[in-house]
Every structure is written in C-alpha cells, then in structure tokens.
Amino acid sequence: MKPNHRLFYQVLIGIIIATSLITYVTLAQEKPKVFWDKIAFPVLMIQDSTFIQTISEELFIPLEPTTDRLALVDLNFDGPGVKDIIIVYPSCQTFPLDFLPEKVSKMMRRWPAPDLRKTIVAHDSLLAKLSPEKFKHLPLIKSLREYVRTIYGEEPLKVFYSQSENGLEIEILRIDLENQLLWEGARQQARLQKPMRNLVVLGSSTAEGTGPADPKNAWVRRFRAFANKIEPQLRVVNLAKGGYTTYQMMPNDYVPPPGRPAPDSLRNITIALRYNPLAIIINLPSNDAAAGFSVKEQLANYDSILARAVSRQVPVWITTTQPRNFAEEKRKKQMVMRDSTLARFRLKAIDFWSGIAREDGTIQPQFDCGDGIHLNDQAHAELFKRVVATGILDSVQVWLKSN
C-alpha cells in the first residue's frame, strides 16, 4: 500500500472512531423520553352492593352499618381465591379467605382480572442507531433506574428494552404506591393473623332461622355472635335449609331408595367436612316425620353421617326432634325419635324438646311463632342457651389453645 493511501485510511479510521465516541457520549447523556402509567398490585375493590351482600352471607363476614366497599387482596398473584384476604371498610378489618363456596367462586370468575402490568413505552429515534445488545452496556441503562427515581420519585419495578421500527423501546413498570401499601399491609396481616377455624351447622328451617320475628334472634345467629365474642378465630358456618331431612344431609356418594330425597352436595356432611370444621351441629326438628320417614330410617342416616365425621375425627352434636302440631301418630313418632336421639348420642345430644313441648307433643303456645311448626324468638333464645350449655365452645377453645 502506498504511503498516501495508508495516510488516507488512517485519517478515515480516525474520523470513524471520533464519530463513534461522539455518538457514544451523546447517547450516554441522552435522557430517554419516558412516559408511563401506574401498575397496580392485585387489589380488587368491590363496591357493588349485591356482590358485597353475597360475599358477606356466603363467607360469613360481618358487615358494618356504613360498609360500602370491600377489598379483595390477591396475596399470591394467582387470581381471587383461597389464602387471599378480604378487607371490610371503613374499619379495615381483615378476614382470611380460607374457603370458597361455589356461589362466590362463580361470581369471582366473572370479575375482571386486575391489570398487573401496564406497558409504558418510550420511543427515541437516536437510540435506534444502536442495537439493544450494545445499548445495555451504555452508562445510560445503568443509570436509568436512578433517572426514573429522580424524575418520578419512585422505584421502577421492571425495565425492558427492545428494537422496533419506532426506535429503541423502553418499557418501564412502576408501582402504584397506595396500592402497594394496601397489598403489603394485607400480606403482613395475613402472616400475623391466626387462621379462622370453622364450626358447621347442618339442618332445616329452624337452624336456617325461620320462626323469630327478628332474624337476629334465631339460635344460630345468636350462637355465632356469642362465639365470635369469646373466640374471634371461630367462624360459625350455617348450611341449613328449610324443608330438609336426614336424607339431604347424607354423603355425596349415597344413593337413596326410591321415593327418598338425594343428598344436597352444597349442604350435606360431605361439604361440611370440606370446611375442616372443629365441630358440627345437626338440627333436624320434624321434616323426616312430616315426610313419613320412619325412626329406623332416620337413625340409620345419622349413623352414616356420623361415620364420615368420625373418619375425620370431627365431633358432631345432634339436636333432638322439636314439638310440632302434627296429628297424633306423627307426634308419637317424634317422641320416639326424641328418646332414641338422647339414648343413642348421649353427651352429644342436645335437648330441643323439654319445656318447649306440651305433654301431647304439640308446641307450648308461648313458644309457637303462629304456624304450629316453627318456634318464636323466645324459644330460639332457649335453644341458644342449650347449645352453649353443651360445652361445644369449651371443646373448641381447648383445641385452639393446643394447636
């Protein structure tokens, strides 16, 4: 190569190097045009009154008179479900979501998923002159987090960059600080809060609350309020439904004889055990007799129900029959079933008959709600006292303290 040619190439290479250095310094000092939006932690605010009421009833979460919203905090980033937290406003009382009834589960599947990662894109044609591979080595990318923190006063959650026809695209995700604090607070509360434990009630209309003029006076409602005061960890889950008999309480795999009701998988012993209860109370006053089912059938059904509970080491208390203004033959059947319950289940039997029934098996007038079938407020107050007197709550407290 001739000397003048060598000199030419040396000068050319020097110009290219100088140009590259100028470009590098310019890029290193360039502030990307960053525009972004908030990324929310998965916290779903529920303000629909129907949804709020359904959640309260199905999850047994007490509401306040001024409650106008709930927050469902997804602690696991896997959508609403078990192990998340419900926050009741305005008190901000929290309740662990440790079981999920099918009705609530269906409702949750219709809710929009929280938008966790909104994309924020910055376009800069100057930066497009370098490939993403070279770009990541520039001082600019190393200082990008500090730049974002300085300009916006917040820490970016994640930084992405990629090449596009618009230039080099920078994607930055940030955290909505208020939303993050709520999520972090709920997560901390979940760590500190002892898990709720359940006591399940199975039964028919009396347990469901039919009879009292004021629903709050029903024996299960009274018992729940009393239990929550002395043992905040305990939740009383009421699965009772009017008209039900021992057959609806039977396990899911039970096949009833012709002419007998099938088990209700939403209100029977199978679903009751899925709540991992510390105890179960069964209150079936008179519908078996009303349907013409024999005492032998009822006792056989109770044996099957109790066998499932025993296999899970769950104690079960069973109430006796209750007086009802039946014809004489059915009243006699009720009395036989009463005596059989007391004799068979002994300390786990709860007397819902004595003092409430007249000698002939009809309802004492002062305890009749007016239909000859159901008991009034005064009678439910007495039933509540008898449930408490069994010592069920004492047994539950002993278990909670030892575990």
Q: Which has more confidence, 86 or 361?
A: 361
**Taking 50 as the threshold, does the pLDDT of residue 305 lie above it?**
yes
**Taking 60 as the threshold, does the pLDDT of residue 226 lie above it?**
yes
Each residue's pLDDT tens digit, 239-298: 999 999 999 999 999 999 999 999 998 899 998 998 889 999 999 999 999 999 999 999
* Maximum distance among all Cα pairs of the chain, rounded to whole angstroms: 131
**Taking 80 as the threshold, does the pLDDT of residue 388 lie above it?**
yes
Give the full edge-to-edge strand order of the sheet including 279-283.
234-238, 197-203, 279-283, 316-319, 349-350
Nearest Cα neighbor of 367 from 322, 321, 319 is: 322
Q: Which has more confidence, 24 or 314?
A: 314
Q: What is the residue extent of each domain of the chain? A: 33-193, 197-402
**Which residues on adjacent β-strands are paired with residue 84?**
97
Task: Please say whether the beta carbons of 266 and 309 come within 8 A.
Answer: no
- What is the sign, positive or negative, of the torsion defined by CA atoms of 133, 136, 138, 141? positive
d(CA 232, CA 86): 16
- What is the sign, positive or negative, of the torsion defined by CA atoms of 161, 165, 167, 173? negative
DSSP string, 5-16: HHHHHHHHHHHH
Say whether 162 sits in a helix, a strand or coil. Answer: strand
Q: Which value, in Å, is the radius of gyration of the alpha carbons in the chain?
A: 34
CA dihedral 142, 146, 147, 148 (to 10 degrees): 110
d(CA 59, CA 190): 17
Each residue's pLDDT tens digit, 61-70: 777 778 888 8
Task: Please say whether the beta carbons of 80 and 74 come within 8 A.
Answer: yes
**Taking 90 as the threshold, does the pLDDT of residue 165 lie above it?**
no
pLDDT value for 400: 72
pLDDT value for 124: 43
Over range 170-192, report the average pLDDT: 56
Query: pTM of the prediction?
Result: 0.63
Q: Provide the residue type at 322 as one letter.
A: Q
Residue 140: pLDDT band by 50, 70, 90 thresholds?
Answer: very low
Q: Tokens 């370098």 belong to which residue?
A: 130
Say whether 318 sits in a helix, a strand or coil. Answer: strand
Over range 88-102, report the average pLDDT: 76
Fold that domain 197-402 belongs to in CATH: Rossmann fold (3.40.50)
Each residue's pLDDT tens digit, 316-367: 999 999 999 999 999 999 999 999 999 999 999 999 999 999 999 999 999 9
Mean pLDDT (the chain, rounded): 77
